Structures are given as C-alpha cells and as structure tokens.
Amino acid sequence: MVDLRKPALPASTLRSSQPASLPPRDNSSREFVFSTADFERVRKLIYQHAGISLSPVKQDMVYSRLARRLRATGMSSFAEYLDMLERGGGDEWERFVNSLTTNLTSFFREPHHFPIFAEHLRKIGTKRPVRVWCSAASTGEEPYSIAITVAETFGANMSHVSIVASDLDTNVLATAGKGVYPIERVEKLSPERLRKFFLRGTGSQEGFVSVRPELKQMVTFQRLNLLDTSYSVKGPLDIIFCRNVMIYFDKPTQYKILSRFAPMMQPDGLMFAGHSESFLHAADLFKSQGKTVYSLAQGR
C-alpha cells in the first residue's frame, strides 16, 4: 500500500448492489424442493438463534442462499439440512446464520449522524476515556467512518477514544478486520479523506485501498449476538451505533435488546438508530432527540 497523496483516484463504475435474479417459486424448476413447511422451519430457527424475524416474502431469498449450503454439505433436501441443524449442527449453525444475514453498508452511510456524533465528542473532550460501540459492524465501513470522525475531531490527540465493533456474521468481521476495500467502495469520499485515512494498493493490491494503521488500532472487532444472555462489550459507553439492525427484530425483541443497552450507557450517552427505525415502544428506556438519535429516558 502507498500513500494516497497523489492525483485523485480514477473514476470507476460502481458494482451493482442489486441481488441476482431470484429463482421462481415453482419447485419444478428448482434444484431442491422447498416447501412452505421448510420455510417456516427456517423462520423459526433463525428467530430462535439470532432473533431475526423473516418476512413471508423472503421465501425466494431464503431458498437462494440456503441452497448453497445444501450443495456445500452434500445434503439432498432442505428437510435433511434442517434436521441436521436441529440435532446440533456444530459449525453449520454459524454458516446458516451468515447465509441469512444481510450486510448492506457503506462509508458514512446516513451522513447526518456524523456531525452530531462529532459534536458529542467535542462536548466530552479529552479529559477522560471515550468508549463507542458499533453493534452492527458488517464489513467495517461504519466503524471506520466512526474512527475517521474521531480523528477529524481530535486530530492526533485521539488515544483516549476506543471503538468496539461487533457483528453476528464472522465472514464480514474477517473483511472488516483487514480494512482493505476495492477503490469503488471509497470513491464517494472526498479527496482529502482519501489522502488522510487510506493507503492505495500497488502490485497485486492495485485497485484496492487500505485503512491507515492508526485508524485500525482504534477499533476492536469481535463477534457478538445481540440475543446473548451476556455481552462481552461492557459499559459505561458514551455512544452506541445500532443502525439498521433492529428492523430485523420484532418489537418484543427490540425492547429486550434496548433494555440491555440502557444500563450500559453513560447518563449523557447517545444511541444512533437507522433511518427507518423508531423506538416509541421503548419510551421508558430511550427518548428521541430527533434525526433517529436517542438519549436515555428521564430518571434513568
């Protein structure tokens, strides 16, 4: 990798983020039979294991993703595969969950949150440690966006800030830990941010960029299931980013997770949610500050 203190990166065509064509529901044209009963078993298992509430309209998506696991394991039917999971499953449980987890992300996604985050950092200042938890890290773009914001706020004096980034999916965490991305993943960032916070690949790494080491050092990646009975992440936390993950949970599960978050936060802590997420059903735990930013409810 080399410094990006060079001419602007060449323009490139964004890779399509649209999923491939889904197979039709007519089982006669499918490799495996996938009945409604099979789908309901999948819905039950992913809910029990990961808290994810699959919509009935996701049947084709589930077939497409899990058919790969049947091929990989040599199973001849969904019933056989699901029986194996229910008998224990071993490492296949992790692959099952990874297959059904959606990981759409980008650098500075929902950008209106980051100036609010920076202002909160300035209010805290440098007199004490600052702890941030990114609870849906995906492939790392969000936690590294958080780290960039910290660096832009505090400059070289940022050693008091630590970021824990977690996710359920071990595959995306492996990518996040490397911090290496195709150039098109960063082409919407300003030239200044590219120069300051990324290294450009050469040789076999040409066409890729790497997050600078000083940002990587700020972030600790770990696997965490938000349904776990105890979290490896401990409070007190100044900021929690929990964006675009609660939409996969039903309201009771959301409330359960939020009730775990609340005691982990500093009294003046902030939680950032996704643009389509609302926690009015947890008004006793969190109150809205607008723009899908939440603080602890009064009296907590």
Write down the catalytic residue from 38, 41, 43, 65. 65
Q: Which amino acid is at 188?
A: K
- Residue pair 7/197 in contact by the 8 Å Cβ criterion: no
Same domain for 89 and 147, yes or no, is no
Same domain for 88 and 226, yes or no, is no
pTM of the model: 0.77
Domain boundary among 79, 100, 121: 100
pLDDT of residue 91: 81
d(CA 230, CA 238): 19
Q: Return the ∠ at Cα 105 (arms to 173 and 115), rounded to 5°.
A: 110
d(CA 131, CA 278): 24
- Let me know if residue 22 belongs to a domain: no
pLDDT of residue 10: 35
CA atoms in the 13 A half-sphere facing the CB of 141:
19
pLDDT of residue 202: 87
Compute CA 46 distance to the chain's CA centroid, rounded to the nearest angstrom: 17
Same domain for 95 and 231, yes or no, is no
> 284: closest CA among 269, 267, 266, 296?
296
Percentage of the chain surpassing pLDDT 90?
67
Same domain for 89 and 125, yes or no, is no
- Let me know if residue 127 belongs to a domain: yes
In tens, the pLDDT along 242-261 reads 998 898 888 999 999 999 99
Q: Across-strand partners of 296?
A: 286
> How many domains does the chain divide into?
2
pLDDT of residue 1: 66
ω before 267 within 30° of 0 (cis)? no
- Residue pair 112/291 in contact by the 8 Å Cβ criterion: yes
pLDDT of residue 7: 42
Same domain for 241 and 280, yes or no, is yes
Radius of gyration for the chain, computed over Cα atoms and rounded to the nearest angstrom: 21
Same domain for 173 and 223, yes or no, is yes
d(CA 108, CA 214): 19
Per the annotation, the verdict on 284 as an active-site residue is no
Residue 208 has pLDDT above 90, yes or no: yes
Domain range enclosing 83: 27-100
Q: Please state, as a whole number, how many other Cβ atoms lie within 10 Å of the Cβ of residue 247.
A: 15
Bigger pLDDT: 91 vs 128: 128
> 134: closest CA among 56, 240, 223?
240
d(CA 114, CA 120): 10
Per the annotation, the verdict on 200 as an active-site residue is no
Write down the catalytic residue from 38, 167, 169, 238. 167
3-class secondary-structure state, position 108: coil
Same domain for 93 and 128, yes or no, is no
Domain boundary among 46, 69, 100: 100
Residue 52 has pLDDT above 90, yes or no: no
